[in-house]
Amino acid sequence: MLEPSGLAGLVSVDREKLTATARAGTPLKVLNEALAAQGLSLHNMGDIAEQTIAGATSTGTRGVVASLSAQIAGLELVTGTGQVLRADAETNPDVFAVARLGLGALGILTEITFAVEPVFTLEAHEFPMLWDEAMERFDAMARENHHAEMYWFPHTDRILAKENNRVLEDPEPLGRFRHWLDDEFLSNTMFGVVNRIGNARPSLIPKISNLSGQMLSERTYSDVPHKVFTSSRSVVFREMEYAVPREVGLEALAEVRRWIDSSGIMISFPVEVRTTPADDIALSTSSGRESMYLAFHMNAQTDHTAYFKGVEDILRGYDGRPHWGKLNTRTAADLAPAYPRWDEFQAVRDRLDPDRVFSNTYLRRVLGD
């Protein structure tokens, strides 16, 4: 195991090329602040910023629109044979094609260069919807907004939809009280209490979820991108997330809903629905195909295995690819057919780490020996 916290900080910014290089152990939140201080920003990100940039990119972390890996313009890697390699679209392009999402199997990332842009204002519009309307409108929402996502509350028809758009105006963040009420008290403190009640009396979960769904109100605010994209999360949960081809995403979600309703399993966490375009990284969950991401959560005190297994069985049938940094039970033998460029990754792995210096139990399961 490596403890990378000493390998942190912004190294350089190239204003002409609009790139920023940081050491690989830099937490995303530190990079975000350092870029903002220079009037710059990443294009987008997932919904927390605690991870190091190497951990986030190596597992394919993303929000809506391009993954963090797809925003990498160059990287530096120490390989299994001790060689220091730089890779970008021109230098070692074969390594660049796979190492932007390397699962730690190719070497130790020491620096990552991201494409950045002048900081912009992102406006968030959040509003409740009902299932039928959401199924009908989601494709248009995804087309018409820069970012669209939704959270469905299992056992109910309730959905919270989110549309984020770039605007030209200055930021108008939520007032401090509303921010505390919505993002700290309701999303964390109250949600923690609700989960404890649900743990003690699972049969109450549908009623509680219906009530929580009813309490969601419409709101609009704007801020610098990382403050809109990321939030704090204090209720500890387990998660599995799958990418399925974009065109079958809603059909897969509806099948999951039918299975949840018939399974008798009580789920207190919403299911998150996001989309991303195709990218050109060999083992990216969006490699070569536009994707819809369906994320399933269970609080850490409840056994998640039956829920995740039931959903995983369904999504496997939709040619689903699991998020590499979240729970899944897949093996190299059944993941290889899901990735047309699997052999390309393995060829680079054989060259950069022939003795499997970087292998571990997880990598042996998902990538093979």
Ligand X SMILES: Cc1cc2nc3c(=O)[nH]c(=O)nc-3n(C[C@H](O)[C@H](O)[C@H](O)COP(=O)(O)OP(=O)(O)OC[C@H]3O[C@@H](n4cnc5c(N)ncnc54)[C@H](O)[C@@H]3O)c2cc1C
Task: Give the nearer residue to ligand X in terms of CB position, either 307 or 358.
Answer: 358
DSSP string, 240-253: EEEEEEGGGHHHHH
What are the structure tokens assigned to 6, written together? 């000493």
Which one, 18 or 78, has the nearer CB to ligand X? 78
Minimum distance of ligand X from residue 261's CB (angstroms): 26
Nearest 10 degrees: CA dihedral of 124, 130, 132, 135? Answer: 20
Nearest approach in angstroms of CB 82 to ligand X is 15
User: Which lies closer to ligand X via its Cβ, residue 59 or residue 275?
Assistant: 59
Cβ proximity of 49 and 230 under 8 Å: yes
Angle between helices 305-316 and 249-263 (to 10 degrees): 140
> Closest separation between CB of residue 62 and ligand X, Å?
5
**CA-CA-CA-CA dihedral for 123, 128, 133, 136, to nearest 10:** 30
Rounded distance, CA 15 to CA 35, Å? 12
Beta-carbon count within 10 A of 363 CB: 18
Please name the residue ranges forming H helices in the chain: 28-37, 53-58, 93-99, 131-144, 176-179, 191-200, 205-215, 225-229, 249-263, 305-316, 332-335, 342-352, 361-367
Q: CB 21 → ligand X: shortest distance, Å?
A: 14
> Whole-angstrom Cα distance, residue 63 to residue 229?
8
> Minimum distance between the CB of residue 103 and ligand X, rounded to whole angstroms?
5
Q: Which lies closer to ligand X via its Cβ, residue 16 or residue 355?
A: 355
Burial of 24 (0-12, 13-18, 19+ CB in 10 A): buried
Please report, as a single letter, which amino acid is at residue 204: L
**Which residue number, 69 or 222, has a Cβ lying nearer to ligand X?**
69
Compute the least distance from the CB of residue 241 to ligand X, in Å. 7
Residues pairing with 241 in the sheet: 295
CA 199 to CA 167: how far, in whole Å? 42
Q: Which is nearer to ligand X, 97 or 204 (CB)?
A: 97
Q: Which residues bind ligand X (CB under 6 A)?
A: 4, 24, 46-48, 51-52, 54-56, 58-59, 61-63, 103-104, 108-109, 233, 323, 325
**Cβ closest to ligand X, residue 62 vs residue 100:** 62
Task: Report, in Å, the least distance between residue 203 CB and ligand X.
Answer: 27
Is the Cβ of residue 108 or residue 174 nearer to ligand X in the bound state? Answer: 108
CB of 54 to ligand X, least distance (A): 3
Q: Return d(Cα 348, Cα 107) in angstroms, integer.
A: 11
CB 124 within 8 A of CB 149: no
- Tell me the closest approach of the beta carbon of residue 4 to ligand X, in angstroms: 5
Distance CA 228, CA 64 (A): 12
Quick one: 101 or 116, whose CB is closer to ligand X? Answer: 101
